C-alpha cells in the first residue's frame, strides 16, 4: 500500500543550481530523486516546500514523496543519508496524511541572512555570508525593516521572474542580531516571492550604509516598482532555517 513520507532536508547549496530540477546543472531535488529511486527500487519524484535559489542553503526545507516501500518511514532518513553526498542530509523522516502537500498548507517560513561586516573577508565563513566592509548602522536597518512588517504587496521586492498572480505576503518579523563581526537578519512570514528576501536584504544594506534613508523603504513598497529597490544580495548569505506548518 502506498504511503506519503515527509523529509526534513538540510543542505549546503554552494554546489547546486538551487532546489528545483533544471537543465543547466545539478540540483538538490535531482539528487534526492535519484538516490531515493535507487534506495527504494521504484521511481520517486519528490515535492519540495521551498524552491531555494542557486547557492542558497537550508537547515529545514520540507519535501514529500509517495512510496510502496516496506522500510519504516522513520528509518528512511538513516538509509538515505548513507547514499547522499556530504552536503545534503535528511534530519527527519515520517509518514504523513496522503493529502498533505508541503506547498499548499498554511505555514510560517523562517530565513536568515548573514553579513560578515569587517575590513577584511573571513575565508572560513565566505560560503555562508555576504562580505560588507562599510560600517553598517543597525539602528537605521531596523527602522527601515519596520516598514516591511505586516501584510503588503511586495512586488517591488521581487524579481521579474515571479510567476504568481498574488504578490501580497505577510511578514511577521524582521530582526537583527550581532555576534562579533557577524550580523544576522532573521525574517519570518507566510511566504516569500522570488528573490524577495535577497532584495529586502540588499535594500536594508543600502540603509545601513547611509545610501537610503529608512523612510525610503516605505516609498519603495508603495511604488510597486522593482527598479526603486536595491539589487538582490548574494545567495550565499541566505539560509532557509525552517518551515512551521500551522
Q: Name the residues annotated as catalytic.
A: 53
∠ CA(4), CA(5), CA(8), 5° rounding? 145
Which residue from 139, 146, 128 is spatially nearest to 237, judged by alpha carbons?
Answer: 128
Match 523603504 to its residue by C-alpha cell.
217
Question: Could you give the CA distance from residue 59 to residue 123 in angstroms, rounded to a whole number?
Answer: 21
Name the phi and psi angles at 82, rounded to 5: -70, -20
Is-contact 196 154, C-beta < 8 A? yes
Question: Could you give the CA distance from residue 85 to residue 93 in angstroms, rounded to a whole number?
Answer: 18
Amino acid at each position: 500500500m502506498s504511503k506519503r513520507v515527509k523529509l526534513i532536508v538540510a543542505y549546503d547549496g554552494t554546489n547546486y543550481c538551487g532546489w528545483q530540477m533544471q537543465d543547466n546543472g545539478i540540483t538538490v531535488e535531482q539528487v534526492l530523486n535519484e538516490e531515493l529511486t535507487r534506495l527504494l527500487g521504484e521511481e520517486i519524484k519528490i515535492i519540495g516546500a521551498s524552491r531555494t535559489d542557486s547557492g542558497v542553503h537550508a537547515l529545514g526545507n520540507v519535501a514529500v514523496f509517495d512510496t510502496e516501500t516496506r522500510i519504516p518511514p522513520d528509518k528512511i532518513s538513516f538509509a538515505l543519508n548513507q547514499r547522499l553526498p556530504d552536503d545534503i542530509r535528511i534530519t527527519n523522516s515520517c509518514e504523513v496524511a496522503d493529502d498533505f502537500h508541503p506547498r499548499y498548507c498554511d505555514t510560517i517560513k523562517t530565513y536568515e541572512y548573514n553579513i560578515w561586516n569587517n575590513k577584511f573577508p573571513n575565508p572560513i565563513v565566505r560560503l555562508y555570508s555576504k562580505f560588507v566592509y562599510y560600517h553598517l548602522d543597525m539602528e537605521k536597518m531596523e527602522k527601515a525593516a519596520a516598514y516591511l512588517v505586516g501584510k503588503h504587496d511586495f512586488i517591488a521586492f521581487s524579481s521579474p521572474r515571479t510567476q504568481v498572480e498574488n504578490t501580497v505576503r505577510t511578514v511577521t518579523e524582521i530582526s537583527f542580531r550581532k555576534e562579533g563581526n557577524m550580523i544576522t537578519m532573521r525574517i519570518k512570514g507566510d511566504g516569500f516571492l522570488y528573490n524577495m528576501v535577497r532584495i529586502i536584504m540588499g535594500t536594508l544594506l543600502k540603509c545601513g550604509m547611509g545610501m537610503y534613508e529608512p523612510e525610503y523603504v516605505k516609498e519603495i513598497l508603495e511604488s510597486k516598482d522593482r527598479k526603486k529597490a536595491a539589487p538582490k544580495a548574494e545567495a550565499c548569505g541566505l539560509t532557509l532555517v525552517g518551515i512551521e506548518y500551522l
